[in-house]
Amino acid sequence: MEFFTVEIDQKIATIKLNRPPANALARGVLDELSVVLDDLESNGDVRVLLIRGEGRFFSAGADIKEFTEIQSDQGFTELAQRGQKLFDRIESFPKPIIAVIHGAALGGGLELAMSCHIRFASETAKLGLPELQLGIIPGFAGTQRLPRLVGAPKAAEMMFTSEPITGKEAASLGLVNHAFSEEILFEEAYNLAKKIAAKGPIAINAVIELLQYAKGSLHEQGVEKEASLFGKVFVSEDAKEGISAFLEKRTPEFKGK
């Protein structure tokens, strides 16, 4: 594995994303995570998964430089669909998955965390969907999951302003289950994983399957539309300006084109 390490102990698999400096979610990262999930799904010694980031961040988002390699709206739509498919798999994975968020979970990083069944965060972590700051939109089902978790008005505010919230605020909104000091964050998440691992796997799997019915009747149509608009927005002049400004470390000048 190039980007992930997996440690298994007491029927708990700890998956660490290690792609410094920001643990950005490039296409290769998504593909490798899919392989990790394949291995752990078939591993009878694993009952609970923890996903965390190595270094300073959980994941600060998608790999912006990689966006410059895609030339068509269809290419961006296919990228969105790839991420959506993987994150839908995580949400319906037959074993509980807990996201352990420190530092920052932004953009695709937050979309990854939102697809997990449970989220723990450090009180000072930054969580948000800042894509509009670049003239683009979330593409890995963030526009659909965030409103379900925090409500449509707060989700709109977070996306429109691109401003992150702290882990402590995220806990008050229900975006994460609990917020702890960073010193005890992983320990608390691991203790929860041990409690879950002691439960019957068949019953756990049944609950996960039933939770999928709580998504809402328009979820599939929503993520499909998101992928389509993701492609169209990404080939706009504003998106090109936003991405260029980000890479050049300057303020973008959007023209509505």
Residues in the chain: 257
Are 254 and 242 a contacting pair, CB within 8 Å?
A: yes
Does the annotation mark 111 as catalytic? yes
The catalytically annotated residue of 2, 69, 78, 111 is 111
CA 240/CA 95 separation, integer angstroms: 40
The catalytically annotated residue of 2, 66, 78, 131 is 131
Name the token pair of 86.
């993987």
Name the token pair of 210.
């039933």
Which residues are catalytically annotated? 111, 131
